[in-house]
């Protein structure tokens, strides 16, 4: 990466000549131009990290702690009308949270997308 000696902006690589055989570095701000010392450009790409979906696991210890709020909702497993509830941001920040429920009677856990 090189910078313009006149204004300090980063110089941009441009191809000139037949088939882009000559390269110059040009300032997008003031127009300063200098012949590139390299005969071919080097392109550096950052490796893309695959986005993985997080899975939230509540262990036995956490499950026994009765500090989570409860709501009146029917358990699809046993029909009990009370469940612990918590929210987790499982998708992108611009999307709504996922609401998780755990039955207070049988411990069955399910989720609801908001």
Per annotation, catalytic residue among 2, 33, 74, 95: 95
Report pLDDT digits (tens) over 3-61: 889 998 998 888 776 666 678 888 988 989 888 776 666 666 777 777 677 777 777 76
Between 113 and 18, name the one with better pLDDT. Answer: 113
Q: What are the structural domains of the chain?
A: 1-42 (2.20.25), 60-113 (2.20.25.10)
| DSSP for 89-106, written as a single string | --S-TTSPPEEEEEETTT
Q: Specify whether 94 is catalytic.
A: yes
Q: Specify whether 48 is catalytic.
A: no
Reading the block at residue 52, the tokens are: 């993985």
Residue where the block lists tokens 């000696």:
5
Predicted TM-score of the model (pTM): 0.43
Q: So what's the pLDDT on residue 82?
A: 95
Q: Which residues contact 22 (CB under 8 A, 6 or more apart)?
A: 15, 16, 35, 36
């Amino acid at each position: 990466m090189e910078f313009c000696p006149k204004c300090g902006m980063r110089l941009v690589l441009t191809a000139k000549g037949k088939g882009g055989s000559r390269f110059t570095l040009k300032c997008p701000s003031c127009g300063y131009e200098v012949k590139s010392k390299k005969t071919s450009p080097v392109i550096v790409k950052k490796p893309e990290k695959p986005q993985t979906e997080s899975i939230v696991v509540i262990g036995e210890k956490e499950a026994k702690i009765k500090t989570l709020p409860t709501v009146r909702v029917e358990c699809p497993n046993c029909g009990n009308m009370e469940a612990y509830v918590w929210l987790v941001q499982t998708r992108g920040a611009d999307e709504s949270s996922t609401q998780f429920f755990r039955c207070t009677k049988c411990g069955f856990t399910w989720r609801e997308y908001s």
